[in-house]
Amino acid sequence: DATGWTLHPGGPWQVSGSLKGKKDVSAIDLISSSTGLLASDEGSLVQAVRLDAALRTLTLGAAWPLLGPKQEADIEGIAAAPAENCYFVTGSHAISRKKMELEPSRFHIFRVRLNPATQAPSGAVDTATLRPLLESMPELKPFLDEPTTAHGIDIEGLAWREGKLFIGFRAPGQGEQAWVLETSVKVV
């Protein structure tokens, strides 16, 4: 149970419902002022959330798997795309830290389509990978198959704006510089 979370300064929020999957939230975004989606980085579940800012409450709702059982997407970013009636969700595209090997399930980017009436996931999910795009970039290709301990690719954030996705990288980086990749939503 997630009661007692503090979501931002100004006092605690009340959380109701049960957090599905692992207990470490890694991504959340809202498609409206009250409806959103969150995910843990382990596993492949996304979960609906309802927010009431006036009452300072967050209600956790239904969950949907993006991959099969026991597959880990390593979800690191969610971006609401209201004009497209969907969320985009990305895995880290990183080499596994525990096993130090390439796990294909981490190399996904998803388009989670919504029911227009409820703004909840409809069950329709499109899946792609950013790997071909990353392989085509001479600046990033050398880091694609490296572990994060050697500054290998590690996506850590995602944003949507006007038909474009902005992908934020934790690694590789140099000093205080980080990569942000801009691409069309047509990659998914």
Distance CA 15, CA 118 (A): 21
pLDDT for residue 102: 82
pLDDT for residue 18: 84
Q: Which residue has the higher pLDDT, 183 or 177?
A: 183
Structure tokens at 162: 């006007």
Residue 109 class from Cβ within 10 Å (0-12 exposed, 13-18 middle, 19+ buried)?
A: buried
Greatest alpha-carbon pair distance for the chain in Å reads 50
62-105 tens-digit pLDDT: 999 999 888 889 999 999 999 999 999 999 999 877 777 888 88
39-68 tens-digit pLDDT: 987 889 999 999 998 888 999 999 999 998
**Cα–Cα distances in Å, from 49 out to 22, 95, 99, 135, 164?**
16, 30, 32, 35, 24
Distance CA 133, CA 19 (A): 34
**Cα–Cα distances in Å, from 26 out to 136, 146, 171?**
28, 22, 17
Amino acid in the structure at residue 86: C
Helix boundaries (H) for the chain: 131-135
Conformation bin of residue 92: beta by default, left when phi > 0, alpha when psi is -120 to 50: alpha
Single pTM value for the model: 0.89
Residue 133: phi and psi, rounded to 5, are -65, -45
Q: Give yes or no for a cis peptide into 65 (omega within 30° of 0).
A: no
pLDDT for residue 2: 53
Amino acid in the structure at residue 152: G
Cross-strand pairs, 160:
165
